[in-house]
Amino acid sequence: MWGLLPCLPYYDIPKIYFHKLQPSQNNKSGKVFAIIDGRQRLETIWKFIDGDFPLAEDFKYLKDEKIKPGGLTYSDLAKKYPKLKVKFDNISLPIMFIITDDLELIEDMFSRLNEAVPLNAAEKRNAIGGIMAKQITKVSLNKFFKENVNFSNKRYQHKEAAGKILFLIFCLTKGQKKIVDTKKVYLDEFVSSHKNKNEKEVQPIVKEAEIILNEMSKIFIKKDPLLKAQGTFPIYFLLVRDYIAEKKLQKFSRKMLNDFKEKLEKNRAKAEKKIASAEFELLEYDRLPQQGTNDASSITTRLRILKSQLGL
């Protein structure tokens, strides 16, 4: 027998999913829950309460359109419509708690819950799970990413960068012994092919990545302007790796990169006035990112030019 549900004068809030963390999961943070799905909803609610933004000017209270809360902040709401503010405070959010030790199940849930919203490459790769996905996460939490890089970590961008450098080390040491494309299809295969490997097998490349990042954290400053472009980061990473291999790291400094950046800018200015007066090699360094920052030939040539300019 069919029944009718009342049509309520407000929009439904989709369920929010929390993962209840277990002691066995080596939870050193002391946190009880992790958000699987619903982070943006929760952040928006808290930002509104903190006064970061007002309600939209065309906001309507559907239960009583005589009330005009549009353009009001949370504190304004308390003053002008205290009863409405109390109703807002008393709303119960639909929250589901997931209790499991299976982190791959959690990653799979995240992927499925977000099927309606296109996931980016890093998010999809993270959902593959397995040992390499875990190691990418570990490397992305390195002090260098937390303090030195100047590109956003929105939607796992630090994991994207960490995945690329682990893949590059793998290809240079265990794979083709050369720099290869760091495009999505190859990074996905890299993570998938290592899904069932054990930690001992992948530890050498993880250890090398962490050694290089630790050295880079001593070279670059906090939120370094030189590390604003994610596409340049693998070039600098490979450069420092080569300086370490040549045992010349003590001769390398951030000033050298900053001077190189200024040289590029001056060369661009020359080219605008008279192309023949500009240094072709530097113009090529500038041009190659347009070809694609994930292209193997672009990475290889830019690294070669940079090393040549720095005298390595």
Rounded Cα gap, residues 81 and 72, in angstroms: 10
How high does pLDDT run on average in the chain? Answer: 85
pLDDT average, residue stretch 252-264:
94
pLDDT digits (tens, 9 = 90+) for 270-302: 988 888 888 999 999 988 887 788 899 999 999
Write down the pLDDT at residue 27: 53
Write down the pLDDT at residue 140: 93
Higher-confidence position of 107 and 42: 42
Write down the pLDDT at residue 254: 94
pLDDT digits (tens, 9 = 90+) for 194-249: 888 888 889 999 999 999 999 999 999 999 999 998 899 999 999 999 999 999 99
Rounded Cα gap, residues 159 and 130, in angstroms: 14
Write down the pLDDT at residue 119: 64
Residue among 260, 243, 247, 262 nearest 312 (CA): 243
pLDDT average, residue stretch 151-157:
84
Higher-confidence position of 87 and 3: 87
Write down the pLDDT at residue 30: 66
Sheet of strand 95-99: strand arrangement: 33-37, 16-20, 95-99
Write down the pLDDT at residue 13: 76
Helix (H, G, I), strand (E, B) or coil at 111: helix
Write down the pLDDT at residue 9: 52
pLDDT average, residue stretch 46-73:
85
Report the percent of the chain where pLDDT is more than 70.
87
Rounded Cα gap, residues 269 and 278, in angstroms: 8
Write down the pLDDT at residue 37: 77
